[in-house]
Structure 1
Amino acid sequence: MTYDIAAPEPAGMVASLSSLGYSLPAAVADLIDNSVSAGARNIDVEFTWAGRDSWIAVADDGRGMSLPELVTAMTVAARGPSTFRSSTDLGRFGVGLKSASFSQSRQLSVATATAGNWNMRTWDLDVVEESGEWRLLHGADDETTAILGRLRSNADRGTIVLWRRLNGYHRGEVSADDERTQKQFYAEAARAESHLGMVFARFLAGGQGQRRNLRVSGSAVEPWDPFMSKHPSVQRLPTENLPLGGSTVRVEAFILPSAYRLTPEEYEGAAGPQGWLDQQGFYVYRRNRLILAGDWLGHRGMRREEKYNLARIAVDIPVGTDVEWSVDVRKSSVVPPVGLRQHLYRVARQARATAADVLRHRGGVAARTHGDPLSYAWNIRRADGRVTCRINRSHPLVQAVLRPGSNNTAEIRALIRLLEETVPVAALRVMHETDTSDDPEPFGGPGPADDATTEVAERIYESLVSGGRSPTAARERLRTMPPFDQIQGFWSA
């Protein structure tokens, strides 16, 4: 067969790699993958503001690279997904370093050493686009060389990745005293720190000999455990080992405690970088590195709803099943294998139901008063597809107000305050189904008033008249007052 060599044009390839949709925190995480794979124990991420000359760097004390290894690492897709990788290698496509870096900067420099002999290579995208060639530069400008020198200090091994001419900051109008843009820059650093604490939590909290020390601008990154696995009130559903080819996928569901069992600090921390609603669902790990955080994996009918906020499920992908899970270039999304989807759906349904039960129970508990016997101020029921909310007439305070001859203003005031403070929001939220028309209908909904409705309306009417309104004005006011504006009675005649 005859053929043509259809090599990609460098400028077009750079544009494609720069447009893969990396956020800055995700791009930094891709660099740290390489540090972890290199056996680094200490990893420093530096954000330095200098206006349009601001820069970001990741420096580690890993095993470093020889010059041929450095050139390979800087070559786009030099190692494909089928290349053998060790069990600690977090890479997959061989483009992470380049695609993550090109998405954030116009200049990528890497300095590395294995035994005191430092080598450096640089991608300058302006050079690539102007020359139309993949010119991997052997050095860099004096300022870049000086920054790399300061970062490596006296180390005799390790790797430093430096981004300069940062996208969004390397503009003529950005100056070092631009306070607004400076705040934005360091806000990105804070977001990166939170993201890294989530993605690499298992490495940061690892046991002796396995733990990594990760710092962002000198601040130690704290691991974020989405499952609150050490909290005594967390419910663990039975762990399942699901078969996939010749290996197994470990799945464990956690039901977090409700807010009433957490301190304010615990509750705020458990919300995670994205907040409670966006952190519910599956957490997929690949070689202990978090790939996907808080997602229902596209299962039909499984939307994010507040009543499922407490459900979080850990899924560990075994080594060598990346293809089956369709792990993408950014290591930020997966597609479950067909053979596992039904099992994952079952686990998710169980976790969601249990999480909703926790909130439903909490909704009832929130409405109680501390008496003997235990009594709730509100009764919430769901029957015949409708939710009803009623004041508990057996509650001692309610009984005291309803007692014949009772005219104790203090008791009435206390009851009103109790009802205000115990509105069963949690229970209503859990019981209400957004896909059905189950909103409570006051007094049975539109239509003629029954005796109970008329009695309540008469009491309101009398209070209006005794307050100085004429009978006509009182009926007019009642006619426009919800829910009587939707019900037919003496006021609408």
Structure 2
Amino acid sequence: MSSNDQENQQATTSASGGSAGSAEQPYTDTSLSGTGKQARPRMTYDIAPPAPVGMVASLSSLGYSLPDAVADLIDNSVSAEARAVEIDFAWAGPESWMAITDDGCGMSREGLVTAMTVAARGPATDRSRTDLGRYGVGLKSASFSQCRLLTVSTATAGDWVTRTWDLDIVEKTGEWRLLHTPSADTSAILERVTAGRSRGTVVLWQRISGYRATSERDKKTQQQFYDEAERVRTHLGLVFARFLVGSSPLSVRVAGVTVSPWDPFVTSNPSLRRLPPEPLPLDGHTVLVEPFVLPSSQRLTPDEYDSAGGPHGWLRHQGFYVYRRDRLILAGSWLGLRGLRREERFNLARVSVDIPAEMDAEWRVDVRKATVVPPVALRRHLTRIGQMVRREAAETVRHRGQVAARQHSGPLAFPWNVRRDAGKVSCKINRRHPLVQAVLKDADLDPARVRALLRLLEETVPVLALRVLHETDTPDDPEPFGGPGPADAQAIEVARQMHKALVAQGNSAEEACALIRMTQPFDQMDGFWSAGQSVD
């Protein structure tokens, strides 16, 4: 064996946790020193492998949520060309477990050991067209973030091979001891989930984080455990939507319930507006950007509208959707681009962005495959496209709002008229509203004072305060008289005064009720103005 071979062998031993490579015995490498007059000084160095305890702590703290972690494992199933994935949740207090089982091609013994080795394949490794991996740590980092006992069992043709990471043993021994033989409890679970299968892969999580100090009889915690299944199901329907449809779709079941795809662009609706797509070249690759303006609420059924709003609501789901090999990386974000922020009037604006996997570094795709940062060279184009689709979306909202107001009840629909003239927004009280007219015509009141009060109210609309309150999704926005449903006493009193004013203007009692039913906010409330009821 040559001296270089001996040194390489020592380096390998040290990297796996041996004692070679200490500061007292530095290595010398002549292979990189060069020859002749330009030869560099001989390189001396130490091998400094990361300590297992510190590495485990780092991998466990990458910020995975449970849905993110499960999605990372399904990436491996897709890469293995699986057509079906089953995700089991089993409650047993501190012995609770989760298993992700697929029917993919499986792995050989050597392949399994490589898959269980941290960062065995880096970002530069050549990968197949279906491979969704990047850093070679997804299986370990996702799993370590959720459990202390990770077991993977795999088969290519009937013979199942199993390896286990027990983090308690790794931390106790300070060595990466990849265990060959699972415990009896683990073996029983593996037999259960692999029954009838001749190939595929099972990822089993035991000693799940957050549940090790619980009791099996704790019903509240048990419910929380199974509630996580619904969160996982919703997340997977978003992230893998493109894989769940098509001629040969991927089937995913979570706790026995099939995952349904969520299409953020409502592509099956004929009222969807598809704006011209733009292929953006960068470093020999192409980023495909496709803007969409979604149908307005008037063109969707209530169920369709709720579904299109997404799991987090319309405001959170506007913006760019970044895909990598058809796998969603980022959903509903304006990517931090200057001048683009979430606002209600842009809720219909969504943009699909497909990036090649070869551009992960340029887009700064993180380990969790959950965030990206657009390349500087594309930001100007993405900002331009974002501004364009936002304008179109806002125009659609404005136009549909005007049409709805005209169809609804004409000038009596709203107490306020909001317009944009010469680039400025104005908020004016509707002088044709019956209550406003009644006050202006009241002989006991000075009309000049009433008009002055109305003008003061119009000129002092608290726009800045409303804008601050409306920066985020607004489930706590004030609703007139408490919102839709049965009218309260205050709403009924206001409606009675409107009824008197309308009758005084020459309308019959029935006509007055009909006009109130078409006036905001009484069109969303139940009271005497409803059909068949009297004023009293």
How much does 1:418 deviate? 3.5
Whole-angstrom distance in 1 between the partners of 2:62 and 2:243:
26
Aligned to 2:446: none
The answer for the alignment partner of 1:38 in structure 2 is 80
- Tell me the secondary structure at the aligned position of residue 182 of structure 1: helix
Question: Are 1:191 and 2:191 counterparts?
Answer: no
Deviation string 1:141-163 (CA, Å, 9 cap, x unpaired) is 11011101111112111000000
Question: Any conservation in 2 of the 1:253–1:311 contact (CA below 8 Å)?
Answer: yes
Structure 1 counterpart of 2:9: none
Counterpart-to-counterpart distance in 1, 2:127 and 2:92: 39
1:119 maps to 161
The answer on whether the counterparts of 2:315 and 2:344 sit within 8 Å (CA) in structure 1 is: yes
Q: Which residue of 1 aligns with 2:64?
A: 22
Q: Which amino acid aligns with 2:215?
A: S
The answer to whether structure 1 residue 79 and structure 2 residue 118 are counterparts is no
Aligned to 2:130: 88
* CA distance in structure 2 between the aligned counterparts of 1:406 and 1:190, rounded to whole angstroms: 56
- Measure the CA separation in 2 of the matches of 1:374 and 1:387: 16
> What number of residue pairs does the alignment pair up?
418
The farther-off stretch of 265-274 and 287-296 is 265-274
Kindly provide the amino acid, as one letter, of the partner of residue 136 in structure 1: L
TM-score (norm 1): 0.80
SS at match of 1:420: coil
Which of 237, 248, 251 matches 2:289? 251
Aligned to 1:419: 519
Mapped to 1, the partners of 2:53 and 2:324 lie a distance apart of: 33
Distance apart, 1:398 and its partner CA: 9.9
Partner residue of 1:368 out of 400, 406, 427: 406
AA aligned to 2:275 is L
Relative to structure 1, the CA distance from residue 398 to residue 423 in structure 2 (aligned partners, 3 Å threshold; closer, same or farther) is: farther
Aligned to 2:505: 406
Asked whether 1:388 is paired with 2:415, we answer no
| Correspondence 1:266 to 2:266 | no
d(CA) in 1 for partners of 2:147, 2:517: 58
1:200 lines up with 2:299 in the alignment: no
Query: Do the aligned residues in 2 keep the contact of 1:379 with 1:392 (CA within 8 Å)?
Result: no
Please tell me whether the aligned partners of residues 369 and 375 of structure 1 are also in contact (alpha carbons under 8 angstroms): no
- One-letter identity of the residue aligned with 2:277: T
How far did residue 116 of structure 1 move? 1.0
Q: Is the 8 A contact 1:284 1:290 kept in 2?
A: yes
Distance in 2 between the 1:85 and 1:220 partners? 29
Please name the residue that 1:319 is paired with.
357
Q: Structure 1 residue 222: deviation in Å?
A: 0.5
Q: Secondary structure at the match of 1:110?
A: strand
Q: Aligned in 2, Cα 1:96/1:420: closer, same or farther, shift over 3 Å?
A: same
- 1:178 and 2:218 equivalent? yes
Look up the match of 2:92: 50
Shift of 1:379: 3.6
SS state at 1:204 partner: coil
User: Structure 2: how far apart are the matches of 1:135 and 1:19?
Assistant: 21
2:455 corresponds in structure 1 to none
CA distance in 2, matches of 1:392, 1:361: 23
User: Secondary structure of 1:248's partner?
Assistant: strand
Maintained 8 Å contact 2:413/2:519: no
Q: CA deviation at 1:416?
A: 4.8
**Partner Cα distance (2:292, 2:179) in 1:** 50
| Counterpart contact for 1:56–1:163, Cα < 8 Å | yes
Aligned residue for 2:170, secondary structure, equals helix
**What is the DSSP-based 3-state SS (H/G/I as helix, E as strand, rest coil) of the residue aligned with 1:331?**
coil
Structure 1 counterpart of 2:109, one-letter code: L
One-letter amino acid of the structure 1 residue matched with residue 518 of structure 2: L
Pairs within 5 Å for 1:335-350: 335-350=373-388
Counterpart for residue 97 of structure 1? 139
Counting aligned pairs with the same residue, the percent is: 62
Separation of aligned partners in 2, 1:375 and 1:407? 16
Q: Aligned letter for 1:247?
A: H
Contact 1:227 1:254 in 2 (8 A): yes
d(CA) in 1 for partners of 2:505 and 2:231?
A: 59
| Cα distance in 2, alignment partners of residues 67 and 239 from structure 1 | 46
* 1:369–1:376 contact (8 Å) kept in structure 2: no
In the alignment, the residues of structure 1 paired with residue 244 and residue 255 of structure 2 have an alpha-carbon distance, to the nearest angstrom, of 17
Distance (Å, rounded) in 1 between the aligned partners of 2:89 and 2:218: 16
Q: Could you tell me which amino acid in structure 1 is paired with residue 202 of structure 2?
A: I
> Partners in 1 of 2:517 and 2:368 — Cα distance?
53
Q: Residue 187 of structure 1: CA displacement?
A: 1.0
Measured after TM superposition, the shift of residue 408 of structure 1 is 4.2
* Unaligned stretches of 5+ residues in structure 1: 425-493
Instruction: Specify the alignment match of 1:358 in structure 2.
Output: 396
Residue 346 of structure 2 corresponds to 308
Residue of structure 2 in register with 1:287 after alignment: 325
Q: Distance in 2 between matches of 1:53 and 1:241?
A: 51
8 Å contact from structure 2 (residues 516, 523) kept in 1 = no
- Mapped to 2, the partners of 1:120 and 1:92 lie a distance apart of 24
**Range with greater deviation from structure 2 (42-51 or 28-37):** 42-51
CA distance, structure 2, for counterparts of residue 370 and residue 36 of structure 1: 50
Assess, with a 3 A threshold, how the Cα gap between structure 1 residues 253 and 392 changes in structure 2: closer, same or farther: farther
Q: Please give the root-mean-square deviation of Cα atoms over the aligned residues, in Å.
A: 2.6
Structure 1's 308 and 422: CA in aligned 2 closer, same or farther, altered over 3 A?
farther
Aligned mates of 1:423, 1:391 — CA distance in 2? 17
Q: Where in structure 2 are the equivalents of 1:59-78 lying within 5 Å?
A: 59-78=101-120
Per-residue displacement from partner, 1:280-328 (whole Å, max 9, x unpaired)?
A: 1110000000011111111022221111111111000123111111111
Counterpart among 328, 334, 337 of residue 372 in structure 2 = 334
Structure 2 CA distance, aligned partners of 1:305 and 1:407?
43
TM-score by length of 2: 0.74
- Which of the numbers 155, 168, 174 marks the counterpart of 2:210? 168
Q: Distance in 2 between matches of 1:357 and 1:97?
A: 46
> Is 1:225 aligned with 2:325?
no
- Cα 1:38–1:406 shift into 2, 3 Å: closer
Contact kept in structure 2, 1:112 and 1:157, CA below 8 Å = yes
Matched residue type, 2:306? E
Structure 2: unaligned runs, 5 residues or longer: 1-42, 443-503, 525-536
